[in-house]
A and B are shown apart, each in its own frame.
Chain A
Amino acid sequence: MRQKIGFIGMMIGLIGMLMLACQPSVTPVGPDLTPYELNLPPQFPQPESPPENALTQQRVALGRALFYDPILSRDSTISCASCHLLTEGLADHNPVSVGIHGRKGFRNAPTLLNVAYHPYFFVEGGSPSLELQVLGPVENEDEMGFNGAELDQRVRHHPVYGPWAERAYGRQMGIYVVVRALAAFERTLISGDSPWDRYMRGDSAAMSPAAQRGWQLFTSDRLQCRGCHSGLNFSDYSFRSNGLYADSPDAGRHRITLDSADLGTFKVPSLRQVALTWPYMHDGSLPTLAVVIDHYDQGGKGHPNQDPRIQPLGLQPQEKADLLAFLQALTDTSVAKRADWMKP
């Protein structure tokens, strides 16, 4: 009898152990934070990311997918890439952005190349981060015509983005993830392989003689272009009037500060890819670089807040041609071929 009991007890114990052993072990899987290593051109500084949005491979990939996804617009027809095309200098050829239903805004889309280095966004400088900038086009009636809260609801249970948000950020998909993933992808849009870049790194044959003369003019005290279009991104990000109008219909930075000294002033744009991003100015009103050069040559229209550097220049035709050649030397042709920036 005792032996039987002992045997039964042992069998129960063994079966119990087997049952426990066959329980699948449930370990929670956190996000995949494998870092994204930026391949920076020589002398380009490491761009900053906010602490909760460090660059990771998952985040950049998710952001890239979202960049090309018209799901961000109310009727799902317009994506970021609709106005920021790789082949058009990461901008487009429309004077002003065209949104859903063919609606037209009142501002020209700027290039996104090297946008990671900008301290603030939009021509008024009102958006403090790439994350918050996303909300601008999303909620603009004339662009994506949508709404942040509604976009949040739309993506919350997305079959692909849902799990991807968990992998990239360890949280549910929503507007928090959308703006951060897009910002992460945009921070990787860095390139410095234009003829000018190579010339500055010591390749004296990288720019044509005309372009080299144009560069000398650009940096001269006589023209003072470099005064505002400075640094490796060709902008000091200050707010200026270049005298495009005597009386600017667009109030520019004044929309934010309500300071009369800011009427008609706009953030100095980067000149990267400038030969590809026609037409020019905040409203796309100048069609070609030659017209832009003429504008500066004439010394602006005399707006009350016009920057004092904007003066008649007395440029000779050869000098204008040289400046044009230099501006064209700012085109980095590798950008349009970046497979890692194209639609996935």
Chain B
Amino acid sequence: MKTRLPYLLILVAFLGLILNGCKTTGCTDPTAIDYDPDATESGDCVYPNLMLHFHPLVGGEDLNFDNTFTIGGVAVKFSVVQFYVSAAAVSGNGVADENEDTYLLVKAGTMNYPVGQITAGSKESVRFSVGLDSTTNHADPTLYESDNPLALQSPSMHWSWDKGYQFIKIEGMVDTDNDGTPDAAMEFHIGKDSNLRTISLDISQSADMEMFMVNIDYDLAKLFDGIDLSTEYITHTGDFPALATKVIENVPGTFSIQ
């Protein structure tokens, strides 16, 4: 009896270990980064977060507000470059991660914009709109907290006489007399429901880390392609809708994956 007891104890301990080892707590969600197919009890999961990196260019060069650039042969300087982005989504393997409630005010001075949680896995495309859906476009801006991109902004992104937002605001100076020096104030304030545009770009990235960054270039030379900035440089949409339309038609081609 004395000699068998230790063996019994070892057996019990061993059985105990095996039984405990079969019960594992882990992430049981297949759309998470740390999905554990062997986990039997659901634990915390980690998901990727979509971050959009918007990089401003002018004719392939980095945008800055100090330099004078040339677009279509016209000297241009920028002082305000900002636009609303909404409905950002990524998709892959037939699954789309929508972020309907996220609205971004992209400004030239800031490149990284967190969007929200997405699912893990390989992603084939990114999609976003430049501008706001009609309901949001006509909402009351005074209802938002001051740190919300849809709150009133300085410089203003809202037309107070027309209950709508400016989707795109670009200001600066243009050279109207062809002497190489910008001399006239340029204002592109573009909005209205019909000018909302959706952009879809192909990517080939795997969302397997907590931050999933998609790097997107936007080139102002492409935005003003076909526009003679020395003669057409002011539109507030309502007062010169044709020029606003020319810019909007260039919006999809302005964005590309880095």
Interface pair A124/B152, CB less than 8 Å apart: no
Q: Is the interface of A mostly helix, strand, loop or mixed?
A: helix
CA distance A149 to B105 in the complex (A): 15
B142: chain A residues within 8 A (beta carbon)? 131-132, 135, 148, 175-176, 179-180
Partner of B156, one of A148, A174, A180: A148
On whether the beta carbons of A132 and B153 are closer than 8 Å, the reply is no
Taking a contact as CB atoms under 8 Å apart, the answer to whether B160 and A149 are in contact is no
- B154 x A132 contact (CB < 8 A): no
> Which of under 10, 10 to 19, 20 to 34, or 35 or more describes the interface residues of B?
20 to 34
| A176 and B143 within 8 A (CB) | yes
Cross-chain contact of A136 among B141, B146, B161 (Cβ < 8 A)? B161
Determine if A275 is an interface residue (Cβ-Cβ < 8 Å): no
Q: B249: CB under 8 A from chain A?
A: no
Contact of B151 among A128, A149, A179, A251 (CB under 8 A): A149
Complex formed: what's the CA distance from A128 to B138 in Å? Answer: 10
B239 at the interface (CB under 8 A from A): yes
Q: Mark A113-136, 1 if CB is under 8 A from B, else 0.
A: 000000000101011100111011
- Using Cβ atoms and an 8 Å threshold, which residues of chain B touch A174? 146
Quote the shortest CB–CB distance from B142 to chain A (angstroms).
5
Do B152 and A147 have beta carbons less than 8 Å apart?
yes
Say whether A132 contacts B163, CB under 8 Å: yes
Verify A126–B162 contact, CB threshold 8 A: yes
Interface string of A129-155 (1 = CB under 8 A from B): 001110110111000000111101100
Chain A residue contacts of B192, Cβ below 8 A: 258
Cα distance, A124 to B142, chains bound together (Å): 21
Residues in A whose Cβ lies below 8 Å from that of B158: 135, 139, 148
Q: How far is the CA of A139 from the CA of B166 in the complex (A)?
A: 14
Report whether B239 and A149 are in contact in the complex, using a CB–CB cutoff of 8 Å.
no
| From B143, B160, B163, B239, contact of A138 by CB (8 A) | B160
Is B241 in the interface zone, CB < 8 Å from A?
yes
A contact residues, total (Cβ < 8 Å): 29
Report the bound CA distance from A270 to B163 in whole Å.
22
Please determine whether A139 and B162 come into contact, CB atoms closer than 8 angstroms.
no
Residues of chain B with a CB closer than 8 A to A175's CB: 142, 152
- Cβ < 8 Å to A, chain B residues 126-144: 140-143
Within the complex, the shortest CB–CB distance from A173 to chain B, in Å, comes to: 12
Would you call A152 and B161 a contact (CB within 8 A)? no
Give per-residue flags for A216-230: 1 if the beta carbon is below 8 A from chain B beta carbons, else 0: 000000000000000
Q: Is A201 an interface residue (CB 8 A)?
A: no
Known: A149-B153, A176-B142. A127 touches B161 (CB 8 A): yes
The residue on A at minimum CB distance from B146 is: A152
Which of A136, A147, A149, A180: most chain B CB closer than 10 A?
A149
Measured in the bound complex, the distance between the Cα atoms of B163 and A147 in whole Å is 15
Q: How far is the CA of A180 from the CA of B143 in the complex (A)?
A: 11
> Taking CB as reference atom, which chain B residue is nearest A150?
B154
The answer to whether the Cβ of A255 comes within 8 Å of any Cβ in the partner chain is yes
Q: Which residues in A have their C-beta under 8 angstroms from that of B162?
A: 124, 126-127, 255-256
Q: Would you list 10 pairs from A and B whose C-beta atoms are within 8 A, ordered by A residue?
A: A124-B161, A127-B163, A128-B163, A132-B163, A136-B160, A147-B156, A148-B152, A148-B154, A152-B146, A254-B238
B residues with CB within 8 A of A: 140-143, 146, 151-156, 158-163, 192, 238-239, 241
Q: Beyond the given A152-B152, A251-B238, please list 10 additional residue pairs across the A-B interface where CB-CB is below 8 A.
A: A126-B163, A127-B163, A135-B160, A136-B161, A139-B158, A147-B155, A149-B151, A149-B153, A150-B154, A180-B142
